[in-house]
């Protein structure tokens, strides 16, 4: 089973990219963020190529199998959860926070703290849980191309990192990418400006987090930097984890 996550940075502008990517990478489940689109259009396009769809104008789940027990845990349109093949998938798009020290930043920190509790509730319904999405937080210094430069900036302050760590630690989640890749230089978001992608000046803001039982089934974890290098693509790279679970028929 391939579980993927991608902040598409506007679905209407990326529909053709996403359709091509789905055909090439063939994920079983995809969490999408930052859709910025009407609920029915263009999400219906993905039903036409065999995916079940659950979500709204900010986040969505696509799955080759039916999505059961769909909820929006946070109630604000930033999350969608569903069960697929015995795995509870929680897809999230955290607030950006804008600037450290502002009310928006404090709201972001509270949102992450609240989300940590919501994950615990969602995890009760299944043996396996995957928490995926764009959390707008770089977890560690190796997740930022210049950590000393940005250590007091939004996306990397100690307050938001601590709140995000509660999501992981309080729910015993495993950051699966770091199991396979424990060094610097692996990022998921690159500013369009300043040739950031070409110079590998990025941030790791997107995650696949797995419950302990699910993490033992992870075979491989990938940041799809090839896709980030394509024309007219999102400023985020897709990420995915391959697991030793049955794929959709």
pLDDT tens, 53-92?
999 889 999 999 999 999 999 999 999 999 999 999 999 9
Average pLDDT over residues 217-246: 94
What is the pLDDT at residue 249? 39
Domain span at residue 46 reads 2-243
pTM of the predicted model over 0.85: yes
- Degrees (nearest 5) of the Cα angle 8, 233, 223? 70
pLDDT tens-digit readout, 147-197:
999 989 999 999 999 999 999 999 999 999 999 898 889 999 999 999 999
Q: Please give the C-alpha separations between residue 89 and each of 11, 132, 203, in angstroms, as whole numbers.
A: 21, 7, 24
- Degrees (nearest 5) of the Cα angle 160, 242, 92? 30
pLDDT at position 247 over 80 = no
Across the chain, mean pLDDT equals 94
In this structure, the strands spanning 206-210 and 128-134 are antiparallel
What is the pLDDT at residue 38? 66
Is 249 a member of any domain?
no
Is 18 a member of any domain?
yes
Is 64 a member of any domain?
yes
Based on the structure, what is the number of domains in the chain? 1
CATH number at residue 217: 3.60.10.10
What is the pLDDT at residue 44? 79
What is the pLDDT at residue 39? 56
Label residue 225 by pLDDT band (50, 70, 90).
Answer: very high
Cα distance between residue 111 and residue 68, in whole Å:
25
Label residue 37 by pLDDT band (50, 70, 90).
Answer: confident
What is the pLDDT at residue 146? 96
Average pLDDT over residues 218-245: 96
What is the pLDDT at residue 137? 98
What is the pLDDT at residue 245? 84
């Amino acid at each position: 089973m391939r579980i993927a996550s991608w902040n598409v940075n506007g679905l209407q502008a990326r529909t053709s990219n996403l359709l091509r990517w789905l055909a090439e990478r063939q994920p079983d489940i995809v969490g999408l963020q930052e859709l910025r689109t009407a609920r029915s259009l263009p999400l219906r396009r993905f039903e036409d190529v065999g995916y079940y769809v659950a979500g709204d104008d900010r986040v969505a789940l696509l799955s080759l199998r039916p999505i059961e027990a769909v909820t929006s845990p946070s109630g604000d349109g930033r999350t969608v959860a569903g069960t697929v093949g015995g795995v509870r998938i929680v897809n999230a798009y955290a607030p950006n926070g804008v600037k450290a020290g502002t009310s928006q930043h404090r709201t972001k920190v509270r949102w992450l703290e609240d989300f940590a509790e919501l994950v615990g509730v969602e995890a009760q319904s299944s043996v396996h849980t995957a928490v995926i999405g764009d959390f707008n937080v770089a977890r560690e210094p190796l997740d930022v191309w210049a950590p000393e430069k940005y250590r007091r900036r939004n996306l990397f302050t100690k307050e938001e990192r601590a709140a995000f760590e509660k999501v992981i630690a309080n729910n015993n989640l495993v950051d699966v990418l770091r199991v396979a890749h424990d060094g610097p230089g692996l990022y998921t978001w690159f500013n369009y400006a300043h040739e950031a992608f070409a110079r590998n000046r990025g941030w790791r803001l997107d995650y696949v987090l797995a419950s302990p039982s699910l993490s033992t089934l992870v075979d491989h974890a990938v940041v799809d930097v090839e896709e980030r290098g394509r024309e007219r693509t999102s400023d985020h790279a897709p990420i995915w984890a391959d697991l030793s679970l049955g794929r959709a028929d």
